Structure 1
Amino acid sequence: MTPIAVYDEIADWYEKQFLPASTPGDPIGIRASLAELLGPGDGLCLEVGCGTGVHAAQLRELGWNPVGVDLSTRMLAYARERLPIARGDATRLPVRDAALGAVVAMMVHTDMPDYPAVLREVARVLRPGGVFVHVGVHPAFCGGFADRSDPEAVVISRGYLDGYWTKHSWTTEGVRNRVGATHLPLPALLRAFLDAGLVLTDFAEGGDPVPTTLSIKAIRP
C-alpha cells in the first residue's frame, strides 16, 4: 500500500502560518537536544521526514552536510530551498546500506504510523559506529491523552498505554488536529530502537515545567 502524504494538505499553512507563529528561541529544547546529542561533525547527515527543511541550518552550523527525505511533495517544495532533498517513504529509504555517518529524525515519529520500520531503515543505512538522533514529542506527556492547556501542569487521562492514532488535541493551533498523530508508549518506543539493532547511548528532555520533548541518541554497532 502506498503511504498517503497527509502533510500535502497543510504544507502552505505549516510554512507560512505555523512556523512563523512558533515561539521564538528554543522553549522545548529541540535545538539544544540536537546540539547535545548529535554534536559537531562532518559528512552527510540524513534528515528523515525533513518536512520543509527548517533544521538544515542548524545541521550546517554543527558542521554536517544535511540532506533530506520526505513523503510530502508540497513540503519538499519549501525544503528544496534549504537542503538537497529526495521524495521517499521513510520505511524504504532511497539510500544504500551502511552509507551514512549520521541520521536525524526531528519531531516526526508521531507522523509515521510504522516508526519501528523507520528505525530498522535507519539502522540499515548507518555505517557501523554511525549516530542516530531522535528528537520527538515526549511519549509520556504529549498525545491525545494529555491536556497541556495549563502551562504549569499537564493533565493525563486514559489512553497513554493504548498506543493509537488520533486527531484529538488540546489545541486547535497545532498539527495533530489537522493530520493526526500516532502514539507509542515509552517502553514500546525504546523497544523499537533495540529491535532495530541500535544501541542507546544518551537521552535528553526539553520543555518546562513538564517536558515536551524526549530525545534519544543511538549508534549502529
Structure 2
Amino acid sequence: MAATAAYDEIADWYEGEFLPRSSVDDPAGIDRALRGLLGPGDGHCLEIGCGTGVHAASVRAMGWFPVGVDVSAGMLRHARGRLACARADAERMPLGDGSVDAAIAVMVHTDMPAYPAVLREAARVLRPGGVFVHVGVHPCFCGGFADRTDPDAVVVRQGYGDRHWTKESWTDRGIRDKVGASHFPLAELLNAVLDAGMVPERFAESGGPTPIVLALRARVPGKS
C-alpha cells in the first residue's frame, strides 16, 4: 500500500503540473501507440490503473465505453469526471469472468510489482477474443539503470537484469523519484503476457531517438 499512499500524496501535482508538461504534442507517442494498437470498438474498455483518467478521451473517441480501476483515491478524485471508475486492487478486480471487451494498461506496469498477476487478472475479466493493450516505459532504455540526461545518448548501466525497485532517477521532475518503480526485463515482461494465456499480436516502440515506450496488443484466445 506504500505506492498507493505515495500517489495519493502527489495526485494534485500529477494532474496540475506533470500531465500538462509531459503530454503536450504526445512527445513519447503514448497516445499514438494506444490508438494504433487498440483500434475502434463499441464495447466496454477497462483501463487497469486508470489514474486520473487522462486516456479515457482517446478510448471514447474510438467508440469504446471507458471504465477504470485504480488503488489511489487521490488519483480517482480527478478521474471521476472522465470515466466510470472504482477503487480496486488490479490483482483482484471486482469484475466477473469474461465481462469486458477490451482492457488497457497505460504507463502503469512499473507501479505494479506483481504485474504478472495483474496480467492474469486481465485475461480473466476479458471475454474470449478480447483485446489487451499494454503501453509502458521501455524495459531496455528506462529504469534505474538508464541515464537519460542526454536525450541523444542513453547510458545503460549495470542493473538491467536485476528486476529491482528503485527511486533512482535521472530527473527530479518525473514520477520515479517520487514513488519509485519496479523494473521488468524485456523477456520477463513478454513471457508474463504468454503465461497469462494471452497471445501477442502486434508491438510498437515510440519516443526517441532512443525509444521511451514499448507497447503491445495481445488477445485472449477464443471467439466472441
Alignment of structure 1 residues 110-189 onto 2, 5 Å: 110-189=110-189
Say if 2:83 is the partner of 1:76.
no
Q: Which runs of 5+ in 1 are unaligned?
A: none
Q: Which runs of 5+ in 2 are unaligned?
A: none
Superposition CA RMSD, Å: 1.0
Letter in 2 for 1:65: F
The runs of at least 4 aligned residues of structure 1 exceeding 2 Å deviation read none
Aligned to 1:220: 220
Say if 2:88 is the partner of 1:88.
yes
1:110 is displaced (CA, Å) by 0.2
Give the helix-richer structure, 1 or 2. 2
Letter in 2 for 1:205: E
1:185 is displaced (CA, Å) by 0.3
The TM-score, its normalising length taken from structure 1, stands at 0.97
CA distance in 2, matches of 1:157, 1:40: 40
CA contact 1:198–1:218 (8 Å) conserved in 2: yes
Aligned to 1:50: 50
Relative to structure 1, is the Cα distance of residues 124 and 23 closer, same or farther in structure 2, using a 3 angstrom cutoff?
closer
The TM-score, its normalising length taken from structure 2, stands at 0.96
SS in 2 for 1:10: helix
Letter in 1 for 2:114: D
CA contact 2:3–2:179 (8 Å) conserved in 1: no
- CA-to-partner distance for each residue in 1:141-172, whole Å, 9 max, x for gaps? 00000000101110000000111100000000
SS in 1 for 2:8: helix
Aligned to 1:204: 204
Alignment of structure 1 residues 10-29 onto 2, 5 Å: 10-29=10-29
User: What number of residue pairs does the alignment pair up?
Assistant: 220
CA contact 2:28–2:207 (8 Å) conserved in 1: yes
CA contact 2:3–2:111 (8 Å) conserved in 1: no
